[in-house]
Amino acid sequence: MGNYTIIKKSKKSSARCGKLKTFHGIINTPFFMPIATKGVVKTLSVEDLKNLKARIILSNTYHLMLKPGIDLIKKAGGLHKFMNWLGPILTDSGGFQVFSLSKIRKIKERGVMFNSIIDGKKYFLTPEKAIKIQEDLGSDIVMALDECTSYPCDYEYAKKSIELTFRWAKRCKEAKEDKSHIFCGQASPFCPKGSPQKVRDKKQLLFGITQGSVYKDLRIKSAKQIVSLDFDGYALGGLAVGEPAKKMLKVLDYTIPLLPQNKPHYLMGVGRPEQIIEAVKRGIDMFDCVIPTREARHNRLYLWQGKADITKKNFYKVINIASSKFKADLLPINQGMLKKYSKAYLYHLFKTKEPLALRLATLNNLEFYLNLMLEIRRAIKRGMI
């Protein structure tokens, strides 16, 4: 028995509904992971996340490594306990930020050397270290270390890069297999009561990441390589890095059929609501993106156009709540968690730079995204997409 079970397959598309078992609970797929970059979903407490019915969050190894440091989190009993979040956590390998944030970095066969964006301190991240760190964090889903190419990316570079990603993936797999039982033995002090019992397989899940930029032959080769290593799930990396939306969907079209259907498929860093729907139709089960949280902090609210209906064209809108047209709009922000707060009040909070503004906007956008996923799951079950 694997950790992923499909409960409904669409007849109209490659979309599917399933259940993913993790150490800290079962999650219905397709799902969206709010981002807790530094061990906190910006502006929100874990009580807020519970009220939002968020099931899983993503946290960034790179940032946690720099601050507060992995040793402290390990000492705290893992990331769950440190941040007081008792649901599942996916951590990335740190690779993406090494490639996107650090100005100074050197890729070697053994791993990647980079300088901290905080104090310039040197770090050396290897596949084995990326695994060890995520074991110390106690993540439910561990990501392999890959090289994430930027866009556009030279063909020759991308070709060499997928080979490195393959070799690193193998090392991650080996490093993880050595350690999984040690982790199991910890009996999870940070586990919610009863939850470990519900989950039969207590080990951390390890996901492999496929690369290859937007080159079909490289994507296919990388997918085959990574799949040959038999991971618990498969991610598509190196997308949503600036390439046109159509190119990204094409990559999904020819890559996903190569992934095992009985394993979860994760599209990293995506995306806007319509992109998520298109990806789900192609067989993606997992998403993460900064859009809902980051845009909230820039006054941008995601709202349904009328009743929630993802099969409608233009089913949502994005408004700038700091625009003067909302100054005297006394209608509710939304029909959900914020139905008792008016748009005029949120406008006022933004205009007076009250910290609550950022939180209410974040709640609105995450509620929208989580409801979007709920609507997607419903639509699949009802045979609508």
Question: Among this protein's residues, is 230 annotated catalytic?
Answer: no
330 binds a second copy (CB under 8 A): yes
Judge whether 265 and 236 are in contact, CB under 8 Å. Answer: yes
Least separation in angstroms between residue 297's CB and a second copy is: 9
Q: Indicate whether 67 belongs to the interface with a second copy (CB under 8 A).
A: yes
How far apart are the C-alpha atoms of 233 and 310, rounded to whole Å?
27
Cα–Cα distance, 172 to 237 (Å, whole number): 16
Q: Is 2 exposed, middle or buried (0-12, 13-18, 19+ CB in 10 A)?
A: middle
- Residue 207: strand pairing partners: 143, 233
The pair of structure tokens assigned to 232 is 């618990």
Q: In angstroms, what CA-CA distances link 119 with 69, 92, 114, 270?
A: 13, 22, 12, 30
Considering only 351, 374, 378, 384, the residue that binds a second copy (CB under 8 A) is 351
Using CB under 8 A, count the residues that bind a second copy: 34
**Does 328 contact a second copy by CB under 8 A?**
yes
Select which of 140, 232, 285, 288 is catalytic: 288
Q: Is 40 in the site for a second copy (CB under 8 A)?
A: yes
Using CB under 8 A, which residues numbered 355 to 374 contact a second copy?
A: 355-356, 358-360
Q: Which of 48, 92, 285, 309 is labelled catalytic?
A: 92
Q: Would you count residue 104 as binding a second copy (CB under 8 A)?
A: no
- What is the nearest approach in angstroms of a second copy to the Cβ of residue 353? 10
- Please identify which residue in the block is written with the tokens 């939306």: 245
Q: Which stretch binds a second copy (CB under 8 A): 5-13, 71-79, 204-212, 310-318?
A: 71-79
**134 and 93 Cβ atoms separated by less than 8 Å:** yes
* Phi, psi dihedrals of residue 233, rounded to the nearest 5°: -165, 165
Q: Which residue has the tokens 């079970």?
A: 5
When binding is defined by CB under 8 A, the residue of 65, 133, 268, 349 that contacts a second copy is 349
CA distance 338 to 345: 11
Q: Which of 151, 215, 254, 341 binds a second copy (CB under 8 A)?
A: 341
- 16 vs 80 by CB, closer to a second copy: 80
CA angle (29 as vertex; 208, 95 as ends), nearest 5: 30
- Catalytic, 136? Answer no
DSSP E strand boundaries for the chain: 4-9, 16-22, 25-29, 31-33, 57-59, 89-91, 105-107, 112-115, 122-125, 141-143, 205-210, 233-236, 265-267, 286-288, 300-304, 316-320
Q: Residue 195 interacts with a second copy (CB under 8 A)?
A: no
Q: Which of 26, 76, 245, 249 binds a second copy (CB under 8 A)?
A: 76
Pick the closer one to a second copy by CB: 139 or 213: 139
- Whichever of 86 and 318 has its CB closer to a second copy, that residue is 86
Segment near a second copy (CB under 8 A), from 21-29, 77-85, 150-158, 237-245? 77-85
Residues making contact with a second copy (CB under 8 A): 38-40, 42-45, 67-68, 72, 75-76, 82-84, 327-328, 330, 340-342, 344-345, 347-349, 351-352, 354-356, 358-360
**Residues taking part in catalysis:** 92, 288
